[in-house]
């Protein structure tokens, strides 16, 4: 089945080219039509999406000033196109591509969004994206830090071992040295700690959450005593709890597939000529 939007775009392009060859487009190029719809869109674009300004709320003088500005901007826009300023501007190119992709996406959403999502589709999407919904194991912990750069490694280790004997029941915040990061962390995963702790992150996750200070543990920053305050095991995703999220995922996937197919059909309408030098690279 042909994509209606693609057919519409191709037909529109063919009609435009035929009219241009016949000279039927040229007379309208010097006419700027200002109607309520065009001016309302222009006002919204100028005022911002969340503005309450409407044409009806403007005074006659403000409305005339808006018309004058619209005419000037439209004239400049048309002259810029006539000079080909849009062709070599990467920002304009990206914007035009983005706008067409958005239109194709909207058309794809209308075409595929009405179809009910079947149980089979949900299960298939769930199986293919299961890891996306897994909640990794996490810990909450507190730490006392001993700066091996300032103290020296051996002295920092000795200070940490001495502190370990009295840390339980003591004012731990008054112990140790200044740490460049947070001394308390909540619900952090092993992967998120690796940039801070390096290989020592795995040792943190091997410690029990028994409420006592443990260590010493050496990291790229120095020596640490650690108290694991809470552990949260890895949680596998539950299909029923994820049903609404999975449905949204299936609909988004349909939309993306419809857009990709529409883009492919548009590209197929062009003859591609690749420079021989690129082929031989």
Please determine, for residue 23, whether its predicted confidence score (pLDDT) is greater than 80: no
Give the model confidence (pLDDT) of 144-194 as tens digits.
Answer: 999 999 999 999 999 999 999 999 989 999 999 999 999 999 999 999 999
pLDDT at 24: 41
Give a yes or no: residue 221 inside a domain: yes
pLDDT at 29: 65
DSSP 144-194: EEE-HHHH-HHHHHHHHHHHHTT-TTS-GGGSS---SS-SEEEEEEHHHHH
Give a yes or no: residue 246 inside a domain: no
What range does the domain containing 29 cover?
4-116+251-279
Q: Are 11 and 108 in a shared domain?
A: yes
Count of domains for the chain: 2
Q: Are 103 and 49 in a shared domain?
A: yes
Give a yes or no: residue 240 inside a domain: no
Please report where in the chains the tokens 């949680």 appear, as a residue.
235
CATH code of the domain in which 152 resides:
3.10.50.40
* Lowest mean per-residue pLDDT among 26-35, 38-47, 206-215, 225-234: 26-35
Please determine, for residue 57, whether its predicted confidence score (pLDDT) is greater than 60: yes
Between CA 226 and CA 217 the distance in angstroms is 8
Q: Are 146 and 82 in a shared domain?
A: no
pLDDT at 257: 87
Give the model confidence (pLDDT) of 74-112 as tens digits.
Answer: 898 888 888 888 887 888 888 888 888 888 877 766 666
Please determine, for residue 250, whether its predicted confidence score (pLDDT) is greater than 50: yes
Give the model confidence (pLDDT) of 129-142 as tens digits.
Answer: 988 888 899 999 99
Q: Cβ(29)–Cβ(78) under 8 Å?
A: yes
Whether the link from the prior residue into 216 is cis, omega within 30° of 0, is: yes
Q: Are 82 and 183 in a shared domain?
A: no
pLDDT at 26: 45
Q: Are 14 and 57 in a shared domain?
A: yes
* Lowest mean per-residue pLDDT among 80-89, 135-144, 197-206, 221-230: 80-89
Higher local confidence (pLDDT), 245 or 109: 245
Q: Are 102 and 18 in a shared domain?
A: yes
pLDDT at 219: 95
pLDDT at 112: 62
Q: Are 112 and 184 in a shared domain?
A: no
Q: Are 184 and 260 in a shared domain?
A: no
Q: Are 154 and 212 in a shared domain?
A: yes
Q: Cβ(239)–Cβ(126) under 8 Å?
A: yes
């Amino acid at each position: 089945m042909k994509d209606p939007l693609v057919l519409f775009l191709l037909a529109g392009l063919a009609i435009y080219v035929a009219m241009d060859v016949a000279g039927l487009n040229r007379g309208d190029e010097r006419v700027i039509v200002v109607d309520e719809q065009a001016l309302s869109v222009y006002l919204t674009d100028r005022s911002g999406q969340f503005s309450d300004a409407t044409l009806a709320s403007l005074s006659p003088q403000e409305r005339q000033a808006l018309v004058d500005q619209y005419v000037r901007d439209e004239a400049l826009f048309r002259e810029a196109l006539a000079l080909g300023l849009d062709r070599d501007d990467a920002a304009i190119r990206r914007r035009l591509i983005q706008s067409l992709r958005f239109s194709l996406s909207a058309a794809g959403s209308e075409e595929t969004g009405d179809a009910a999502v079947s149980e089979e589709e949900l299960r298939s999407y769930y199986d293919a994206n299961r890891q996306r919904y897994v909640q990794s194991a996490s810990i909450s912990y507190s730490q006392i830090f001993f700066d091996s750069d300032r103290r020296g490694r051996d002295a920092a280790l000795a200070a940490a071992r001495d502190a370990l004997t009295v840390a339980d029941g003591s004012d731990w915040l008054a112990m140790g040295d200044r740490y460049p990061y947070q001394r308390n962390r909540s619900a952090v995963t092993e992967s998120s700690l690796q940039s801070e702790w390096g290989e020592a992150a795995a040792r943190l996750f091997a410690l029990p959450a028994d409420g006592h200070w443990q260590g010493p543990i050496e990291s790229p920053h120095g020596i640490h005593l650690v108290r694991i305050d809470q552990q949260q095991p890895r949680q596998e995703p539950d299909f029923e709890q994820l049903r609404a999220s999975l449905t949204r995922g299936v609909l988004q996937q349909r939309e993306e597939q419809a857009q990709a197919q529409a883009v492919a059909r548009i590209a197929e309408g062009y003859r591609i000529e690749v420079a021989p030098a690129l082929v031989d690279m």
